[in-house]
Amino acid sequence: MTKFGSVLVVSCLVANCSAGAAPIDFEDALTGPVSPALSIPFEKYRMTPAGLLRAQAGSGTENGIDRPVVKTVSGAYLSRDFIFEVDVTIPSDHGDIAYVGFGAALNNGRYENEPANSLLFRIHNLPKVPFFGVDMAVTDQDVAGKNGEHFRTISRVAEYTPGAPMRFRIANRAGDVTMSVPALPGTSVTFTRAQFADLFDDRHAFLFVANSSEGTTFRNASVRRP
C-alpha cells in the first residue's frame, strides 16, 4: 500500500466518500436547493442566492483552523481531461484563507487542517495583517518544511482583491495539471504528473473548495472537457 493509501481508506470510511462514482461534466451556480455533483457538509455551508455560503465556523469571521471541504462526489477526475472553474468571494473585512484544489483533499491536522495531498490555490484575505496573496502549491501531509509547512512547492502568483469575486481554473490535460487565474495574465503554472504522482490516485482525485471563516461564498462551479 502507498504512503497515502491507509490514510485514504480511513478517511473514506469516516466521510462515507464516493470515490467510485463516475466523473461528470456539470454547471452549478451553487444557489441550490441541492448540488448533485458535490458532497457538501451542510452543518458548515448553506446554499443562498449569492452562492454556496460558509455559514458556520469556529472562528466566526476571522481566519481559523476549522476548514471543512466541499468536494465532488466523484474522486475519479484524474482519469479524464477536464477544466474546473469556480468563483470565490471573500468579504473585504473578513479574515479568511479560501482554497480551490484537485487531489485527495485530506485535512492535515499537523498544519491547521489545510487540504493536503493536493494541488491547491491558497487565497488569502487577511485585512488585519494586511495580506491578500494568492498562492499555488503542491501539498503533502508527510512533508515538514520550515515552520511545519506541508508544501512540496509553493509560489505566489497574484493578489486577491478584497470583496470581489475572483475566478480560479484547474485544467487536467493528459496528466499535466495547469492552474491559473483567467482574469490575470501570467498566472498560469503547470505541474507534471511526476510532481504529484504519489499523492493521490485515480480513485481519490477530487475537485474541491474549502475555507476557514464565515461569509465567504463560492459560485458558478463548472467542469467541462478542454
Q: What is the pLDDT of residues 157-201, one digit of tens each?
A: 999 999 999 999 999 999 999 999 999 999 999 999 999 999 999
Mean pLDDT, range 10-15, rounded to an integer: 38
Q: How confident is the model at residue 54 (pLDDT cuts 50, 70, 90)?
A: very high
What's the total number of domains in the chain?
Answer: 1
**Whole-number average pLDDT of the chain:** 92
Where are the strands (E) in the chain, listed by range?
A: 26-28, 38-39, 45-48, 51-54, 69-72, 82-89, 96-108, 114-125, 133-139, 151-159, 166-173, 176-180, 189-191, 206-210, 217-224
Q: CB 4: neighbour CB atoms within 10 A? A: 22
- Residue 188 CA to residue 58 CA, distance in Å, equals 34
Mean pLDDT, range 101-115, rounded to an integer: 96
Q: CA triplet 70, 141, 1: central angle to 5 degrees?
A: 95
Mean pLDDT, range 113-129, rounded to an integer: 98
Domain that residue 215 falls in: 5-224
Question: CA end-to-end span of the chain, whole Å?
Answer: 33
CATH number of the domain at 105, please.
Answer: 2.60.120.560
Mean pLDDT, range 32-61, rounded to an integer: 97
User: The whole model's pTM is what?
Assistant: 0.90
